[in-house]
Amino acid sequence: MTIERPKYPNTIFAVDVESNGCTPPEIIELSVVKIDSGAVEWPPSTWKIKPLHSIQERATSIHGITDAEVAQSPSLQFVKDDIQSLIQHRSIVAHNAHVDFKLLKLSLPDWQPAAVYDTLRLVRVVAPELPSFKLSSLVSRFGITEKLMRHGLFQAHRACYDAMAAAYLFLALVEQARSKGIGIDQVLRISAMAVNGEKPKQGQLL
């Protein structure tokens, strides 16, 4: 049986958000990567944002971002319209997507995605035999490291690196699913998060 290659009728955006580690958290870095017709576009849209509260040491130990690095960056109020206009009513994908989704909704209360897809959910179904589902492990497992390096991306837990990694991982998992006879509609159902209590309709990719 021949499985047709997946068709991407529209656009999906891979996102990653880094926070200051406070309670509640604030966005300090955000990257949005466009995936158009199954191709990852470069460069992504990336913002550094000055938070109202200092970045916690524990957060800096993970992503490496310091207060000094964002001291001259705009605050959220000056960039939120640009961010929201890019991803409003659009489908997004992220790794462990509920974390990014919650922070985006906290920061952009009026933001309404068309759908939210999670590569963590997807990989657990498509490749359950893998020893680790961490993004860093999957980047290595699916040969994504070299693709990131070609874009000069070497540092995990930075928004641009992780968003690009999520974009390439999503496409790799779609191919992995296809090789197992799992079509794109089923991939979307598997990876979809409930948004406002509802999952997207079959085949929805806006």
Residue with tokens 């000055």: 50
DSSP 89: T
Within 10 angstroms of residue 55's Cβ, the number of other Cβ atoms is 22
Q: Does position 166 have pLDDT exceeding 90, yes or no?
A: yes
Q: Report the pLDDT value the prediction gives residue 195, as an integer from 0 to 100.
A: 84
What pLDDT band is residue 194 in, cutting at 50, 70 and 90?
confident
Within 10 angstroms of residue 198's Cβ, the number of other Cβ atoms is 9
- Asked whether residue 5 is domain-assigned, the answer is no
What CA–CA distance (Å, rounded) separates 78 from 83?
10
Residues 45-68: pLDDT tens digits? 999 999 999 999 999 999 999 999
Q: Report the pLDDT value the prediction gives residue 191, as an integer from 0 to 100.
A: 96
Q: Which of 86-95, 97-106, 107-116, 188-197 has the least mean pLDDT?
A: 188-197
Q: Which residues contact 201 (CB under 8 A, 6 or more apart)?
A: none
Give me the chain's average pLDDT, please. 92
Report field, pTM of the whole predicted structure over 0.75? yes
Split into its structural domains, the chain has a count of 1
- Asked whether residue 168 is domain-assigned, the answer is yes
Residue with tokens 């359950």: 128
* CATH classification at residue 30: 3.30.420.10
Inter-residue contact 188 to 204 (CB < 8 Å) = yes
pLDDT (mean) for 180-195: 92
- Take residue 136 and report the two structure tokens written for it: 């860093």
Q: Does position 168 have pLDDT exceeding 60, yes or no?
A: yes
What CA–CA distance (Å, rounded) separates 78 from 47?
11
Q: Report the pLDDT value the prediction gives residue 201, as an integer from 0 to 100.
A: 53
- Asked whether residue 4 is domain-assigned, the answer is no
- Asked whether residue 2 is domain-assigned, the answer is no
- Asked whether residue 201 is domain-assigned, the answer is no
Residues 67-99: pLDDT tens digits? 999 999 999 999 999 999 999 999 999 999 999
Q: Does position 171 have pLDDT exceeding 80, yes or no?
A: yes
- Asked whether residue 178 is domain-assigned, the answer is yes
Q: Report the pLDDT value the prediction gives residue 205, as an integer from 0 to 100.
A: 47
Q: Report the pLDDT value the prediction gives residue 8, as an integer from 0 to 100.
A: 53
- Asked whether residue 115 is domain-assigned, the answer is yes
How many CA atoms lie less than 13 Å away from 112 in the CB half-sphere? 6
Give, in order, the Cα–Cα distances in Å from 138 to each of 42, 108, 169, 182: 21, 30, 8, 20
Range of the domain at 46: 11-193
Residue with tokens 């933001």: 111
- Asked whether residue 203 is domain-assigned, the answer is no
